[in-house]
Amino acid sequence: MAISEEEIDHILDLFSGVNDLSTRKMFGGIGVYSSGTIFAVMMRDGRLMLKGRGDMIARLDALGMKRWTYQRPGKSETAMPYWILPESALEDSEEASALAREALTHL
């Protein structure tokens, strides 16, 4: 199932405190960008994830955010550089935007 326009609007509202927002559809989900830098993705199943790099990785782990991993048959588990946003941030644009701005300083 592809991401709906309503879901895209919600994401844009959620990250309204981030400058120069845009989205691009990709693989049934969307990438969320600030000034052309991807900082979040929403998967087609509705999971909204924030990108982590550098010192932000430890911060996201300390917040208890779960890292996105996947495993292909016969292969070892692969960890991607994205963490699922906590429930509290999914309902609070100030929290979501603050996390996104912090993540962007490391991208």
Domain that holds residue 51: 5-104
Total domains, the chain: 1
pTM metric for this prediction = 0.92
Task: Note every long-range contact of 90-94, with CB atoms under 8 Å and residues 24 or more positions apart, other chains counting.
Answer: 90/14, 90/48, 93/13, 93/14, 93/15, 93/16, 93/17, 94/17
The reported pLDDT for the residue numbered 28 is 83
Compute the distance between CA of residue 46 and CA of residue 30 in angstroms, rounded to an integer: 10
- For residue range 37-90, list pLDDT tens digits in order: 999 999 999 999 999 999 999 999 999 999 999 899 999 999 999 999 999 999
pLDDT band at 27, cuts 50/70/90? confident
| Residue that has been written with the tokens 């996105």 in this structure | 68
Phi/psi at 106 (5° precision): -105, 0
Does 1 have pLDDT greater than 70? no
CATH of the domain at 49: 3.30.1460.30
